[in-house]
C-alpha cells in the first residue's frame, strides 16, 4: 500500500462517519500477510461512554455464526459428530416434535446438521420473523425494552411460525432462509457432543488455540463482567442497552471481540489452521440468500453484480456480518481482511458501502 491509498482510505472513513447515521465505529483492514494495517475509529462506547479505541470490544452479533460453524465442523472432522445425520439424534433431551411442520406433516427429523449450518433447514427465524398475529422478537425489544429467553422459548416460538419451505433435499435446492433458530440448535448440539458449556467448547476449540484473549460469548456472569464492557450499538439515534438479550443469543449472536482478533480468526480459517482444505471448500458451497448475499456453512458471500460497477467489477468478500453493523470478511482477489463495526442496527448496510468503496481504491 502506498501513501496515496492510505490517505484515500482515511478520506473514505471520514466521509462514512460524517453521516449522521453513525455515532460509533471501529474498522480495520489488514493485508493477507499482515504487512499492511489500517485502522479507523470514531465516536464513543455509549451515550456517555469513553472514546472508541482500536482495541475496544464490541458485539459481533451474527458474525458469531462463523465461530459456531467452525466449531461444529472441527467436531465433525474429529469424528465426534456427522453433519449428514439428523440433528434430532444429538438432542434427545429436547422435545422437537413438530418444530418443522409442512403441509400437515412433521418434517423435523429430516433436517440434517449441515442444513442448520447453511440455512436450508426451512426452519423459521425466531428472532426477526413475526409470529402468527404478533411482531418479531426484534420489534418487541425495540418497542418494549430488554428481555431474555432460553432455548425452550426459541423452540416454542419456532413451532408457532410457518416454515418458508420443507427441508432441502440432499442435493440442495439452491436457496437458503436465514434463521437464527438454526444456530441456537447448533449451540445445543455443541454442548451435547462436548459435554461442556457453549463458552467452554468455543474456548477450547478456537479461542485458546488462537490466543484470542478478548473474544468471548457475552454473559452477565463474573467472567464477562470482569472484562472491559463492549461498546453499545444504536437503533437510529437511540443507544441500545440490552444485556439480557445479548446474552440470550448465545451461539447465534452473543460473541464479543475486537477487530484484530476477528481478522486473526478468519485468517486462521482461510489458511487451513482450523479445518482441512476440503472442509473449507465445503463451507463455500453457496445458496442464494437475499440480495446481494449467498450462504454456505457459516459463511456469507457478499458480491455486487457488475451492473453496479460496469467499468471496474467489484471483488467478492467471504465472511460474515451482524445486525449490529459488524463485519468480518476476506477478499481473495485483493488478499485483504476487513473487520469491525459501525454499531448501527438501523443502517447496517453502511458497513458494506464502506467495503465496496475501499475495494475500489485498493483493487
Task: Please tell me the total count of domains within the chain.
Answer: 2
> Which of 174, 198, 222 represents a domain boundary (last residue)?
198
Residue 221 pLDDT = 66
204 lies in a domain? no
Residue 57 lies in a domain: yes
- Residues in a beta bridge with 240: 233
Half-sphere exposure of 119 (CA within 13 A, CB side): 27
Q: What is the CATH number of the domain that holds 85?
A: 3.40.710.10
Q: Do 228 and 336 belong together in one domain? A: yes
At 74 the pLDDT is 99
List the grid coordinates of 114. 449441515
Cell of 23: 455515532
- Domain of 73? 67-198
Upper half-sphere CA count for residue 263 (Cβ side, 13 Å): 25
The domain boundary residue, chosen from 170, 198, 226: 198
pLDDT at 360: 86
Whether 98 maps to a domain, the answer reads yes
Cα 178 to Cα 31, 45, 122, 183, 322: the distances in Å are: 30, 29, 9, 10, 12
**224, 356: one domain:** yes
Instruction: Supply the pLDDT for residue 310.
Output: 56
Q: What is the DSSP string of 184-226?
A: HHHHHHHHHHHSS-HHHHHIIIIIHHHT-TT-EE--SSHHHHT
In a shared domain, residues 291 and 349? yes
Backbone angles phi, psi at 239, to 5 degrees: -70, 135
Residue 46 has what pLDDT? 95
**142 and 252 share one domain:** no
Claim to verify: residue 186 and residue 140 sit in the same structural domain: yes
For residue 138, what is its C-alpha cell? 426484534
Tens of pLDDT along 214-235?
999 998 665 666 788 899 999 9
Nearest Cα residue to 161 out of 213, 123, 210, 199: 123
Whether residue 113 is found in the same domain as residue 225: no
- 171 and 266 share one domain: no
CA angle 266, 315, 304 (to 5 degrees): 105
pLDDT tens digits, 166-205: 998 876 678 999 999 999 999 999 999 999 999 999 999 9
Q: Which residues in the chain show pLDDT less than 70?
A: 132-133, 171-172, 220-225, 306-312
Q: Indicate the residue among 176, 198, 220 that finishes a domain.
A: 198
> Is residue 229 domain-shared with residue 355, that is, in the same domain?
yes
Contact 329, 317 (CB under 8 A): yes
Query: Do 135 and 226 belong together in one domain?
Result: no
Predicted structure pTM score: 0.96
* 255-257 and 287-288 beta bridge pairing: unpaired
Whether residues 190 and 157 share a domain: the answer is: yes
Amino acid at each position: 500500500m502506498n501513501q496515496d491509498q492510505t490517505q484515500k482510505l482515511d478520506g473514505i472513513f471520514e466521509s462514512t462517519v460524517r453521516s449522521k447515521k453513525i455515532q460509533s465505529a471501529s474498522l480495520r483492514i489488514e493485508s493477507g500477510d499482515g504487512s499492511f494495517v489500517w485502522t479507523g475509529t470514531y465516536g464513543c462506547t455509549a451515550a456517555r461512554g469513553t472514546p472508541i479505541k482500536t482495541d475496544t470490544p464490541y458485539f459481533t452479533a451474527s458474525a458469531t455464526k462463523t465461530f459456531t460453524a467452525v466449531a461444529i465442523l472441527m467436531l465433525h472432522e474429529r469424528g465426534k459428530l456427522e453433519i449428514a445425520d439428523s440433528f434430532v439424534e444429538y438432542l434427545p433431551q429436547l422435545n422437537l416434535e413438530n418444530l418443522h411442520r409442512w403441509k400437515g406433516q412433521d418434517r423435523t427429523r429430516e433436517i440434517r446438521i449441515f442444513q442448520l449450518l447453511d440455512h436450508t433447514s426451512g426452519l423459521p427465524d425466531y428472532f426477526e420473523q413475526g409470529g402468527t398475529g404478533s411482531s418479531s422478537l426484534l420489534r418487541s425489544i425495540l418497542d418494549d425494552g430488554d428481555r431474555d429467553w432460553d432455548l425452550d422459548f426459541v423452540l416454542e416460538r419456532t413451532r408457532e411460525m410457518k416454515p418458508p419451505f420443507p427441508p432441502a433435499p440432499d442435493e440442495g435446492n439452491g436457496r437458503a432462509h436465514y434463521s437464527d433458530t438454526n444456530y441456537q440448535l447448533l449451540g445445543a448440539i455443541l454442548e451435547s457432543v462436548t459435554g461442556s458449556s457453549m463458552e467452554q467448547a468455543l474456548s477450547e476449540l478456537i479461542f485458546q488455540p488462537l490466543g484470542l484473549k478478548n473474544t468471548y460469548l457475552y454473559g452477565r456472569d463474573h467472567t464477562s463482567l470482569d472484562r472491559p464492557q463492549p461498546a453499545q450499538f444504536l437503533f437510529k439515534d437511540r443507544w441500545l442497552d440490552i444485556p439480557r438479550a445479548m446474552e440470550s443469543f448465545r451461539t447465534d449472536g452473543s460473541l464479543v471481540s475486537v477487530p484484530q482478533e476477528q481478522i486473526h480468526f478468519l485468517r486462521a480459517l482461510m489458511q487451513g489452521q482450523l479445518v482441512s482444505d476440503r472442509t473449507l471448500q465445503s463451507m463455500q458451497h453457496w445458496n442464494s440468500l437475499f440480495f446481494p448475499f449467498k450462504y454456505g456453512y457459516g459463511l456469507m458471500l457478499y458480491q455486487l453484480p457488475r451492473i453496479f460497477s460496469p467499468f471496474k467489477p467489484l471483488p467478492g468478500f467471504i465472511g460474515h456480518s451482524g445486525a449490529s453493523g459488524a463485519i468480518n470478511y476476506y477478499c481473495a482477489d485483493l488478499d485483504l481482511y476487513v473487520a469491525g463495526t459501525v454499531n448501527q442496527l438501523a443502517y447496517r448496510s453502511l458497513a458494506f458501502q464502506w467495503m465496496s468503496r475501499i475495494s475500489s481504491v485498493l483493487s
